[in-house]
Amino acid sequence: MRERAEPAECAAVVKANAYGTGSARVVPALAAAGCGTFFVALPEEGAEVRAAAPEAAIYVLDGFLPGLGDSYRRYALRPVLGSPEEIAEFARWRSGERSALHVDTGMNRLGLRMEELTALSRDDLERAGTGLLMSHLACADEPEHALNERQRERFASMRERFPDLPASFANSAGVFLGDSYLHDLARPGIALYGGASHPDARMEPVVTAEALIVQVREARRGETVGYGAAETLTRDSRIAIAAAGYADGYLRAEGIRDGHDGGEVSVAGARTPLLGRVSMDLIAIDVTDLPNVERGGRVELFGPEMLIDDVAERGGTIAYELLTGLSRRAERVYVGGADG
Ligand SMILES: *Cc1c(COP(=O)(O)O)cnc(C)c1O
């Protein structure tokens, strides 16, 4: 992503515990790879990032949260300010702390509207310690969407108001939209964790979710499997039971449900169907055609064989939700990174 973003600087978005992957390990790895700027959503996340990256610039996307000023000071966090009230509040509170200014170009979530930006003076920005102008794309993952170009034009005209301020516009998908979206600082999140960010560009898988097989059993044609007896076996079957379920963040929607077939998992490199519903702690998998599957083996829920975007889509969601929904119970094992 750094190379793709050049000559812009490439920051890393590590909100929500680095999209569920674990900031304490992921931030030092990103810092060791040369990343000097991080974005989080909340000040408490910023405090964690500060512990892992003492020298970095850390921006808080949700802004200057009422009543939490101490954290911004203690951890040198930079709020991304998105309304006139918030700018004024931060300007009154600060003693040297820096900030970014968020302008809205079509998302209608956070950020100043054009008329609010026009009402700001250079002195106002000075008082708020503003060092970055940013906006966020609503449809970057759909390159043909007309809103992309409209937002780019609006951002360009908003930049004219304060042309000296460095600017940041592109999330992961925005980086793939073209050079005119890059500006000075790119802000990828999902691409760093292996989520697809462009229809033609698959990212390398980063996270593999696996479950341990705790039992392999036989069942007869005509019997049913799991809650609700939702699956009826159409042949004599071998079933592997693996220790993962919706309490781990593996979506119940991956299993059989009204009007939907169940999804698949990968066992020893072969895709094979789930049987019945996903329970809280367990899934059932058809291994009738896979004679070597045994207790103690592993099942891939998503990873190199089962791409996270495809698995998410099957469950009616997006890779972001699958990653951030991985629960505490799912043990994280890190390979490589800052300390090997
Ligand atoms: C989450 C977020 C990003 C990162 O988006 P990805 O699609 O994960 O790359 C960038 N900017 C803002 C404002 C965000 O909220």
pLDDT tens digits, 206-231: 999 999 999 999 999 999 999 999 99
| pLDDT in the model for residue 202 | 83
Active site residues: 15, 227
The ligand 1 atom at the shortest distance from the C-alpha of residue 140 is: 7
Is the CB of 135 within 6 Å of ligand 1?
no
| pLDDT in the model for residue 339 | 62
Supply the DSSP string of 274-332, one letter for each residue: EES---SS-EEEE-TT-TT--TT-EEEEESSSS-HHHHHHHTTS-HHHHHHT--TTS--
Q: How does pLDDT run along the chain (340 residues), one tens digit per residue?
A: 999 999 999 999 999 999 999 999 999 999 999 999 999 999 999 999 999 999 999 999 999 999 999 999 999 999 999 999 999 999 999 999 999 999 999 999 999 999 999 999 999 999 999 999 999 999 999 999 999 999 999 999 999 999 999 999 999 999 999 999 999 999 999 999 999 988 887 899 999 999 999 999 999 999 999 999 999 999 999 999 999 999 999 999 999 988 788 999 999 999 999 999 999 999 999 999 999 999 999 999 999 999 999 999 999 999 999 999 999 999 999 998 766 5
Closest to 42 measured CA to CA, from 96, 79, 9, 73? 79
| pLDDT in the model for residue 338 | 65
Is the CB of 187 within 6 Å of ligand 1?
yes
Tokens of 312: 């998410």
The ligand 1 atom at the shortest distance from the C-alpha of residue 110 is: 13
| pLDDT in the model for residue 260 | 86
Residues 308 and 204: their CA atoms lie apart, in Å, by 11
Which of 17, 187, 192, 324 is the best mutation target for the ligand 1 pocket, counting ligand atoms within 8 Å of the beta carbon and taking the most? 187
